[in-house]
Amino acid sequence: MEDTRAVSTLMDSTSSKILQLQKAFAELERHRAVTLNLKWKELEEHFHGLEKSLKRRFHELEDQEKVLDTKVMKAREMLEKREAAVVAKEEASLERLQKKRDAAALAISTSLKKHRKVTPADLSCWEDQVRVARVEEKIADDVTTPESCVEDPEDSYEDDSEEVNSTPLLDKFFKDMDSEGLHKFISDNRKNLATIREEIPRALRAAPNPASFVLRSLADFYSTDRPKFDGKKDSDLLGLRRTSIMLMECLSILLMDSDLCISDIITDEIKLQAKVIAEEWKPKLDALDTGCSSGNSLEAHAFLQLLATFGITSAYEEEFISQLIPMVSRRRQAADLCRSLGFSAKMPVSTGAPGKKFGILGRR
């Protein structure tokens, strides 16, 4: 700033110096022997032009200096704010770290207080429990019954766990036509199957094509049909088959709503696709052991449910269907399934051992 004031003072003294120069020039003309072509007026105009140019440039530099000072001030303020923010974050981080240290120290202290040495008596008791568990496990392995010969535990749809809010997920699966995702979701939440089963008929409405969705879900019904080395069926496959049957049942429930037109959902094209699946499944039913099924065959149930849900019962002879019904006689859905297939609403009682053929009243 001192340099600026000095420059300003020098510029203000320019006028007086020009006057002095004018006097000197006049004195020179009086003593000159030769006339000069240069006139004082021209010199004066030249010096005044230089003065104006210098003043203009000086003012421009002053304005630039003010702008620069403003920027420097703002930058300093910003740096101060950032520095304050960094300090605040650092203090907060240190405070959180201290809390974690205190919590860890408390946890360690509590754990040390609860810790005690294992006595020989405790060790002996634990060894006895292990031996008993091994004996029970061996006995269970020796008396294992083939799964296809026992009642399907999921027929009761018991739910011993807390219910989960599956509605948003179900809606998304059906809306996206994601049958594979739905199978996995149900497999992971089988303890909540009763709740899920109640929600599926409503959630099916979110599907662009409910019938097509259900048909897609049947794609892997037989694709992984192979026994394990211990003779038991793959539990994942059994779960998939149960889910497939449940989805067909839920579609049937949806079709019972009075506000829906069945022909809009079960179209001729859908029926044709269902018949293709039925024809693929039919030969596999011949390999089933009717006696071992004990009236609880998932395969026969799925085939009959496919016929009932998609209205293609007429594509097969009554005698063939009648031969399959004893294989599902012990399943919870047997009576409703018979009515859906067009048989009598009342299931007759078998007079022989489970699995033997029994009479069926006439079809409707």
What's the whole-number mean pLDDT along residues 304-322?
90
Q: Tokens 């009648």 map to which residue?
A: 322
Residue 274: the pLDDT is: 92
- The DSSP string of 122-154 is HHHHHHHHHHHHHHHHHHHHHT---GGGS--GG
| Partner residues linked to 227 by β-bridges | 233
Cβ-contact 295, 329 below 8 angstroms? yes
Cβ-contact 359, 348 below 8 angstroms? yes
Indicate the range of 79-93, 104-118, 173-187, 345-359 predicted with least confidence: 345-359
What's the whole-number mean pLDDT along residues 206-234?
74
**DSSP assignment letter at 227:** B
> Which tops the pLDDT comparison, 96 or 115?
96
pLDDT at 34 over 60: no
DSSP 3-state of 85? helix
pLDDT at 276 over 90: yes
The rounded percent of the chain whose pLDDT value lies above 90 is 24
CA distance 163 to 142: 36
**DSSP assignment letter at 233:** B
Which among 246, 305, 247 is positioned nearest to 281, based on CA atoms?
305
pLDDT at 313 over 50: yes
pLDDT at 74 over 80: yes
Q: Tokens 């199978």 map to which residue?
A: 183
What's the whole-number mean pLDDT along residues 177-198?
89
What's the whole-number mean pLDDT along residues 29-52?
70
pLDDT at 124 over 50: yes
**DSSP assignment letter at 237:** H
Residue 344: the pLDDT is: 61
Residue 238: the pLDDT is: 86
> Which tops the pLDDT comparison, 25 or 153?
25
> Which tops the pLDDT comparison, 324 or 31?
324
CA distance 296 to 287: 15
CA distance 111 to 34: 117
pLDDT at 233 over 80: no
What's the whole-number mean pLDDT along residues 61-80?
92
Cβ-contact 324, 342 below 8 angstroms? no
Residue 335: the pLDDT is: 83
* Alpha helices by DSSP H, 205-328: 210-217, 235-255, 262-265, 268-285, 290-293, 298-309, 318-324
Q: Which residues contact 230 (CB under 8 A, 6 or more apart)?
A: 144
Most confident of 44-53, 133-142, 264-273, 341-350: 264-273
Q: Give 3's pLDDT tier (boundaries 50, 70, 90).
A: low
Q: Which two tokens stand for residue 268?
A: 């001729």
What size, in residues, is the chain?
364
| Partner residues linked to 233 by β-bridges | 227
Q: Which residues contact 292 (CB under 8 A, 6 or more apart)?
A: 146, 148, 149, 355
What's the whole-number mean pLDDT along residues 66-85?
93
Residue 39: the pLDDT is: 66
Most confident of 41-45, 52-56, 300-304: 300-304
For the chain, where are the E strands, in sequence order?
none
Residue 46: the pLDDT is: 80
